Amino acid sequence: MTGSKSTGYQNSGDVDNRVRENYRKQGFLRHAKAQLGKVSPGMAEIILPFSADVDQHYGFFHGGAIATIVDGAAGAAAYSLLEGGAGVLTTEFKINFLAPAKGDRLIARGKVIKPGRRLIICQGDAFIEQDGSETLVATALLTMMQVPASGNREKNTKENTKENTEKNREKNDVTE
């Protein structure tokens, strides 16, 4: 990783615990049965076992599954550098599929290549593992945006629910 900034955390164990706690909130990745692998400041790995839930019609990992775990690994890598309850959202990514993803499991590795105050640029690579060897099947460049602690999920969920409820009431109260 180049251009690293201090995270304020005492050791990589603190970073690992924080990233794992945040990962448990990722409903879609849980649903896909993706597992968080190795984590260190500015780096993260997500592992996805092959199953009928993540394949496509030729028996390969689906491109959407590959893109999802590459995005998740890069997001976890970016999140590992933040402090004070801040979070990250993907604002852009470009992925190149390099080879068919046929194997036992998919491993995505994300790393921060340029941390910034607002935007964090990451690289993500996906490897297929078959018979103990890895083959690169996709590579991506991703931009993550820092979300301040005030933009946390619980607060947004409450506000959005309240706002949508009020809009629906107004919409349904319209008389003809």
Domain assignment present for residue 166? The answer is no
pLDDT value, residue 5: 43
Note down pLDDT in tens along the chain; length 176 residues: 433 444 444 356 689 999 998 888 888 888 889 999 999 999 999 999 999 989 899 999 999 999 999 999 999 999 999 987 899 999 999 999 999 999 999 999 999 999 999 999 999 999 999 998 999 999 999 999 999 887 555 555 555 555 555 655 555 554 44
What DSSP string describes 65-87? HHHHHHHHHHHHHHHTT--TT-E
Predicted TM-score (pTM) of this structure:
0.78
Report DSSP state, residue 24.
T
How many domains does one find in the chain? 1
Other beta carbons within 10 Å of 139: 15
pLDDT value, residue 85: 82
d(CA 176, CA 123): 55
Domain assignment present for residue 3? The answer is no
Domain assignment present for residue 171? The answer is no
Domain assignment present for residue 91? The answer is yes
At 85, which CATH number?
A: 3.10.129.10
pLDDT value, residue 134: 96
pLDDT value, residue 4: 40
Domain assignment present for residue 94? The answer is yes
d(CA 170, CA 158): 19
Domain assignment present for residue 153? The answer is no
pLDDT value, residue 7: 41
Phi, psi torsion values for 93, nearest 5 degrees: -155, 150
Q: Are 140 and 94 in contact (CB under 8 A)?
A: yes
Domain hosting residue 38, numbered range: 12-148
